Structure 1
Amino acid sequence: MEEDALKEDELDDWLIESIKLNCLACYSFLSGTVICTCLSSRKPHKSLNGLGRKGLCPERDFKVVHGGFSDRPISCLKHIRGTRILVSSGPPDSSLQLWQIGADDSDVIKPLHCIHNKEHTKKWSRIATSASGSPCVLHGSEVKDIQVTDLESKKAIYSLDTDNADSVSSLELLSKDEFLLCSGRGHLWLVDMRQPGSLATPCTVLPQGEGLHWCMGIRNRLSESDAASSRVARLSSSGHVLVTDMRDARSPLCQAKLNLSCESSDYNIMTVTWAPAFDDCLAVSGFNGKVHIYNTKSWIPAFTEEEPLFIHKGHAIAEGPDDWRSAVVTTHVWHPWKPRTLLSAATNGSLHVWDWIDQKMES
């Protein structure tokens, strides 16, 4: 009984701490069965929510409007802008699954087609989707099987001519003609699809290190014409961050060592993203049950240890009555126009919508 009471006290402490950290809303999904969902939110009412604060409430401001079931795990899920099509990938192979979001008279997400890479592998594919032009998807699990597939014809319209078998960690379509590729080893390639499909030498140099895995995040651009000036942050599994301007990719603009305790062995969930409304802020997750916010404005070209502006700890909660290990954050995303609002999800099936503050300025 005393042990149960202690756990209840710890849960109460977590809730209070989460409220202090401005956790605005939380929505939990069933873990186990993979569910494709679309969340709809509306502008919150000016009245106070159940916590006595202005903000978002899960029952009032969020609603599951479309859903469906997949017979395989979903590791990556993207929406094709301007359509009702979703694209997903996940084990046990590199193929893609296309989904149709139901019309206004249906709340069901239905499977449509399957797209296969030019080389079948047992690694699931990374995905990037087009923001303009005809609907297409950039995908691949290894550098040598990267291709762009037109979704209407289901045919490959571009592929790389290389035997490079490095794993792909991140893909980004910069424009209708260019895309950026980051390998698990941290090399960056800027590919112009108007040129022959051969892959040139990586355009950046990395610090030496064995056993490291890398991913990338690209700062939002004002328009496609700014593609060449993209600023890229690369994050390693050892907590190093390198920021590169693609106009001069030979050396980083700045870099830092982040003090991150690693509680996950899954490098695939490492995530680094730039804030859309703050030029120098980025968020990092995938190491533990937290999301860290950093300001890169004061970072320098040499490695220095940097402390976060803010840490969201809300996912670090028990997964069950007898399980008090911390959940691990699997992904996060910034709100497109609310500069201090993020969404994050974790291995315990929780989805958090939260605001952050600059704790240094508040102290």
Structure 2
Amino acid sequence: MRNTMLIADDDIGYRDQLSELFKDKFDIATVGNGREAMAYLVDHHKEIAIILVDMHMPIIDGRALLKVLKLKGVIKRIPVIMMTTDRDEALVAESFENGATDMIYKPFVPQVIAARVNNLIALNRGRLQLEEMIRQQTVQIQEKNKELKAFNSKLIEIMSSIVEFRNLESNSHIKKIKGISRIVAETIMRRYPDDYDLRPEKIEAIESTAALHDIGMIAIPDSILLKPGKLTADEFEVIKSHTTLGCEILKQIEELQDKEYITTSYNICRHHHERYDGKGYPDHLEGEAIPVEAQIVALADAYDSLISDRTYRDAFDMSKAYGMIMSGAAGSFSEKMLDCFAQSRTMIENFCKKF
């Protein structure tokens, strides 16, 4: 516990007077100038409860000492009372600007300085206790956030497994969608930091919830979903409804998820089939009206679909797939999105070769 009063004054009479006044309340340490005060602080700063500093001392005066205490951050933890016989208002103002907690004029009335010291100690201890309580609560909140993120990840993993178990998506497709989405999102954050609200936390949410982009497919009847032949126009409309059906599923768990995750997953699920030219579905959004997370996952989904085998065709090689994305033959994407896709091409291809 901090229980030492450091008195810095070249006048031994004042040092003795203050020492006598506070000896029953504090352990007293006295020095005659600013240099000695700084030397004492180096070894005993954790023990000091309050510092009394005379404005005019030899070698290093009180003004210079106060500036050092401010620079070192000492005044954030320990109250400092300046003492002076000089009633210069500019000097007083300077002291408070440099972090002095109070100013006492010499000669002082013992009862007055005792009351002011006691009040400052009580206030500072209360402030430190409040800061410690806030620190502890912050740690608790951070731990709860970690637990919530872990729960979010587990919940998303379970839900994406449902899609996988119905043979609607392969495990490798889900992993590639997540990985490509992260690579593209990080490139966007670097190249267009002022155009999109992409932060590390947002990118983490995009990568994780990209696994749920087709969660609505579990609500599509098997007779349509697993139909071997060509779909009718009406059947294709049912397939398209997986975007809105997926959002209905996500609404059922929104109270269980972090707000960032639920908003991101909702936008991805509903809008990953929108096109930049406005010809997508379900809402026919155009341009930047499409949430950036949906644009990212749409690009990742299109690319992985091209490099994966389908029942009606073999996979395209990565070079061909890249060209189809860039030319607009496999979707409509913004110039910025295509720029970031091009910039991250090597990383994406190296990542996809793992599967």
TM-score normalised per structure 2: 0.20
The structure whose Rg is larger is: 2
More strand by share: 1
